[in-house]
Amino acid sequence: MSEQNRENILNRLRGIQSTLQEQQSGELTQGIEEIIKPALQTPQLLDLLLENMTSVQISVTNISTWNEVGHAVYHYVEQHNLAHDVTIAPALRTLKWPSSLNVTSGIADGDTRVTVTPCLAAVAETGSLVFASDPHHPTSLLFLPEHHLVVVSQKQIIPHLEDIWPLLDRYARQPRVINFNTGPSRTADIEQTMELGAHGPRAMHVILVAEARSLSG
């Protein structure tokens, strides 16, 4: 056998080996993906999200456009007999807010009762809301108020928790904090009695917007 024929055979064997390794790698990755991301109970993400948010005590108001957000907040405040003082995330300042609300934007403090924020995504698998911190989305708005209202566009619904990570590519600088909030704060540490608002808001409410745009970041 000539040296050239020997080299040709070896090259063919190397090509076959490389192809097999790529196939095995793809099968392994697919297997891991199926384990990490289990099949959802329903392919309708909106229905699954609403079901799971209800199960973790997140109430929901459905609206058609972002122009209705201010009125939805006003109706929530009225329904719960709350003061009309509302602190919003700076990212929401461009929305129309009714004069009947006393709206300020910025951070929350110990006296803040109602905040309104956008979110990065809503996870159908768990009913969780995902928030990325930056100057336009202060983290204090998520944890200090008694009532946290979250504005979510239907296009922000994602199937699984893991699907949040590719969304972070939109940021020139990665957020320092990512929060996954799944319903109001609760604990049963005291006499095994469920208490809401132990470590954060005692009520979470989603204003779900059908209009296909978001103000998340």
pLDDT tens digits along 49-60? 999 999 999 999
What CA–CA distance (Å, rounded) separates 81 from 59? Answer: 16
Q: With respect to residue 217, please indicate whether it lies within any of the assigned structural domains.
A: no
Q: Residue 157 to residues 86, 120, 148, 176, 198: CA-CA distances in angstroms?
A: 26, 9, 19, 22, 28
- Whole-structure pTM value: 0.78
Residues 186 and 122 in one domain: yes
Rounded to the nearest angstrom, the gap between the alpha carbon of residue 213 and the centroid of all alpha carbons in its chain is: 15
Q: With respect to residue 215, please indicate whether it lies within any of the assigned structural domains.
A: no
Residues 95 and 29 in one domain: no
State the residue range of the domain holding 32: 1-36
What CA–CA distance (Å, rounded) separates 138 from 107? Answer: 6
Residues 25 and 94 in one domain: no
Residues 28 and 113 in one domain: no
Q: Determine if residue 167 is left, alpha or beta; phi over 0 gives left, psi from -120 to 50 gives alpha, anything else beta.
A: alpha
What CA–CA distance (Å, rounded) separates 111 from 123? Answer: 30
Q: Which residue has the higher pLDDT, 3 or 157?
A: 157
Over 50: is that where the pLDDT of 5 sits?
Answer: yes
Residues 167 and 64 in one domain: yes
Q: CATH no. for residue 110?
A: 3.40.50.10420
Q: What is the pLDDT of residue 214?
A: 58
**pLDDT band with cut points at 50, 70 and 90 for residue 43:** confident
Q: What is the pLDDT of residue 34?
A: 58
Over 70: is that where the pLDDT of 13 sits?
Answer: no
Over 50: is that where the pLDDT of 197 sits?
Answer: no
Residues 91 and 155 in one domain: yes
What CA–CA distance (Å, rounded) separates 123 from 158? Answer: 5
Residues 84 and 165 in one domain: yes
Over 60: is that where the pLDDT of 198 sits?
Answer: no
Over 70: is that where the pLDDT of 29 sits?
Answer: no
Number of domains in the chain: 2
